[in-house]
Amino acid sequence: MRIGPYLIDPPIGLAPMAGVTDKPFRQLCKRLGAGLATTEMTTSDPRLWTTRKSLLRMDHAGERDPVHNQPVSVQIAGYDPAMLADAARYNAGAGAQIIDINMGCPAKKVCNVHAGSALLQDEALVARILGAVVAAVDVPVTLKIRTGWNRENRNGVRIARIAEDAGIAALAVHGRTRADLYEGDAEYDTIAAIKQSVRMPVFANGDVDTPQKARQILDYTKCDGLLIGRAAQGRPWIFREIAHFLASGELLAPPAMAEVCAILIEHLENLHGFYGEQAGVRIARKHLGWYAKSHERSLEASGHEGASASPTEIASGYLSFRTIVNRAETAAEQLRLTREYFALPERLALAA
Q: How far is CA 67 from CA 63, 168, 263, 278, in A?
A: 12, 26, 21, 34
Q: What is the dihedral of CA 53, 146, 211, 220, to 10 degrees?
A: -160
Cβ–Cβ < 8 Å for 130, 168:
yes
- 29 is known as an active-site residue: no
Question: Is the backbone peptide bond immediately before 71 cis, with ω within 30 degrees of 0?
Answer: no
Q: How far is CA 312 from CA 44, 57, 302, 307, 324, in A?
A: 55, 45, 19, 13, 17
Which residues 6+ apart lie within 8 Å of 154 measured at CB? 147, 148, 177, 190
Cβ–Cβ < 8 Å for 147, 176:
yes
Distance CA(197)–CA(175), nearest Å, equals: 16
Out of 29, 105, 111, 223, which one is annotated catalytic? 105
The 10 Å Cβ neighbour count of residue 57 is: 22
Cα dihedral across residues 20, 233, 266, 330: positive or negative? positive
Cα dihedral across residues 57, 17, 204, 214: positive or negative? positive
Cβ–Cβ < 8 Å for 320, 337:
no
Classified as helix, coil or strand, 304 is coil
Active site residue ranges: 105
